[in-house]
Structure 1
Amino acid sequence: MNTDIAEVIIRPEGSLQILSYQEAQQLCDASDVGLNDILMRCALAVLNTGSEADNELALLEKHPNFSIDVGVKGRGVQLIIKNAPRHAFVDNELIMGLKEHLFAVIRDLIYSRNEILFSKKINLNTAHGITNAVFHIARNAQLMKPNVLPNIVVCWGGHSIPENEYHYSKHLGYELGLRNLDICTGCGPGVMKGPMKGAILGHGKQRYQNGRYIGMTEPGIIAAEAPNAFVNELCIMPDIEKRLEAFVRIGHGIIIFPGGPGTMEELLYLLSILLHPDNTDLTLPVILTGDEYSKAYFEGIINFLNATLGSEATDKIKLIINHPRDVATYMKEQMEAVRQDRKASSDAYYYNWRMTLELEHQQPFIPNHKNMAKLSLHKDQPVHVLASQLRKAFSGIVAGNVKADGIKEIRRNGPFDLHGDKEIMHAMDILLESFVTQKRMKLDTSEYHPCYKIHK
């Protein structure tokens, strides 16, 4: 029985009330150069918040008749949504938090398209240009808060995690909240939800009125990690690379919980930056943490990093197991170190301009068979470059697991082929096999079929 809402009309508020006819046309344009397809996918993901699925293609197939159009009337804009999931509504009224997220999607898609991607104002062929692009998108989303001391903690980790790991992330979020620290995550379920939920309680006990729960996503992954209900500041970056850069530019410290290939992608991205020769003096605290049962998981991560990148990489991170209060206390102390570092270098508290990223970190990686096969997974290169190449390998695995385009690519051509040094391939095989065994690849509980093939 189809229980979707046949049709609903929503009138945006604020600046979105005055979209131009051209912007509305872009949002309705279903051609390759239009925004309707990406709007439809992002909107469906937002309206599907709370779902236990993490497969974008399956979500699209479940709602084949879902559509969204934008119309401009004399006194403003209206969204015409057809066949929307009923659980996004209460008494036929769209839940307010979901409405805000939907407006954020429209805001960011329009701004990124017209002011960044198809504008000559910013040169996206240079590293500095891309950094400026990330800044402009984040500022337009009102993520920049001047005259506020460093206090944003980025939390990374898996969306497909057992209940005990979720509770630990929530407990740590509570401890962070008690110290008036704000939370930024990938905005989805699991570890992206737990710290926010915990921080809300901690902030409430401290009567901290301005708690920030920032969700950072991108169109290719939003359906797999739909924004959770606690996100109160949502920003959609154009691609995964700009999303990752936004995390490290806006955040003041990073906590990494157990996860799967997506978490490894984030960790390797971070290490590729911290290992860069220009960033050796950068103050950015990084903690790996989990409950008592996560010790073996993190031992596997450390073993992988030692086998591929060496002790130079593991020296950049701090491991604290099953002590959420210690993690929060350490992170609170490090906020003062970050403040002193930014002050001494005359860098902004709200955006880390001084951090060096190369074009290698920033240009979108397209995870197809050709690009995955030619990744340079060898040790005869600078360690920060190898970290970046490894990051792209895990990015491809994420795409093959949960992103619609990646899933279609695997269906057409079979698993991605990964080639490299024997030691690196062996270490990767061991790590990925542990993810499969621990059911960290997907939320789907059925048998996992690898989207990759490792050649030793």
Structure 2
Amino acid sequence: MQVQEKTVRKFLSKKIQQLNNIVADLDALVTEIGTDYYRVSIFGSARIKPNTEEYMEVYDLAKKLAKNNADIVTGGGPGLMEAANAGAKDGSSKSKSFGLHVDLPFETSPNEHLDITYHHKRFSSRLDEFMRISHAVIVTPGGIGTILELLYTWQLIQVSHISERPIILVGKMWTGLLEWMESEPLNKQLIDKSDFNNIKIVQNVDEVIVLLKPLINKFYAKKI
């Protein structure tokens, strides 16, 4: 029985590897085909309550981006994800509000402000979809999940597994992280100074719009 289990495990492991390679090839093909719409992923905490300062800032940010013809992509959950999706819905009837939902004990269903919902069983596939359909990433206040999304994006750009795109950090909480990245990994030559080229840190919504509006306009100008 033990020999049979080892054989089955080996067979299944090989098939999983083959399937992963097929998915990676399909992912690259879909990315190469591209999209007709500029999309911005907004990462942030699920724990922030409605009507708080952080919630309303993210709502306002997504609303302004939608008015500038950007689709908004989030994890589809509560907190700042919900704020971004609600802002997108209220900003423009033309822009779409995306939710890439993953089932969690404390997030059993997506928020109510979505035009398009994709369901994922694993964080890894959701992260890859964020990368596949987004042209820019905005990181708002958040915890471990938000930091994971930030570093995943940053690392894939570093190794050229995805195209370069702006990573915009919003708020004072990210200043310490960047200072540590410079004083420790960069100072010890574990990363390069060029790895910071796509990272921007801002303090308010208007600064984000100033950074992204020219990129959005340039994207649509190429479609004409």
- TM-score of the superposition, structure 2-length normalised? 0.76
Cα separation, 2, equivalents of 1:326 and 1:202: 18
The corresponding residue for 1:123 is 18
Residue 135 of structure 1, CA deviation = 8.0
Q: Percent identity?
A: 26
The corresponding residue for 1:161 is 48
Q: What letter matches 2:212 in structure 1?
A: M
Residue 329 of structure 1, CA deviation = 3.8
Instruction: Say whether the 8 Å CA contact 2:76–2:85 is kept in structure 1.
Output: no
Whether 1:218 aligns to 2:77 is no
Instruction: Say whether the 8 Å CA contact 2:175–2:201 is kept in structure 1.
Output: no
Residue 223 of structure 1, CA deviation = 4.1
Q: What letter matches 1:150 in structure 2?
A: Y
Task: Classify the secondary structure of the residue corresponding to 2:125.
Answer: helix
* Counterpart mapping for 1:39-438 below 5 A: 123-126=18-21, 129-132=22-25, 149-161=36-48, 163-203=52-92, 208=93, 210-219=94-103, 221=104, 223-224=106-107, 226-276=109-159, 278=160, 282-289=163-170, 294-295=171-172, 297-310=173-186, 311-322=193-204, 324-336=205-217
Cα separation, 2, equivalents of 1:331 and 1:313: 20
Residue 250 of structure 1, CA deviation = 0.6
More helix by share: 2
Cα separation, 2, equivalents of 1:192 and 1:285: 19
Greater relative CO, 1 or 2 (CA 8 Å, sep 6+): 2
Instruction: Say whether the 8 Å CA contact 2:68–2:216 is kept in structure 1.
Output: no
Residue 193 of structure 1, CA deviation = 0.9
Task: Classify the secondary structure of the residue corresponding to 1:182.
Answer: strand
Residue 176 of structure 1, CA deviation = 0.8
Cα separation, 2, equivalents of 1:286 and 1:215: 19
**Over aligned residue pairs, what C-alpha RMSD do you find?**
3.3
Residue 213 of structure 1, CA deviation = 1.0
- Judged with a 3 Å threshold, the aligned counterparts in structure 2 of structure 1 residues 308 and 275 are, in CA distance, closer, same or farther, namely farther
- Judged with a 3 Å threshold, the aligned counterparts in structure 2 of structure 1 residues 338 and 183 are, in CA distance, closer, same or farther, namely same
Task: Classify the secondary structure of the residue corresponding to 2:155.
Answer: helix
The corresponding residue for 2:4 is none
> Unaligned 5+ residue runs, structure 2?
1-11, 187-192
- Judged with a 3 Å threshold, the aligned counterparts in structure 2 of structure 1 residues 222 and 153 are, in CA distance, closer, same or farther, namely farther
Q: Which moved more, 1:329-338 or 1:155-164?
A: 329-338
Instruction: Say whether the 8 Å CA contact 1:252–1:335 is kept in structure 2.
Output: no
Largest Rg, 1 or 2? 1
- Judged with a 3 Å threshold, the aligned counterparts in structure 2 of structure 1 residues 301 and 233 are, in CA distance, closer, same or farther, namely same
- TM-score of the superposition, structure 1-length normalised? 0.39
Instruction: Say whether the 8 Å CA contact 1:157–1:257 is kept in structure 2.
Output: yes
Q: Size of the alignment, in residue pairs?
A: 202
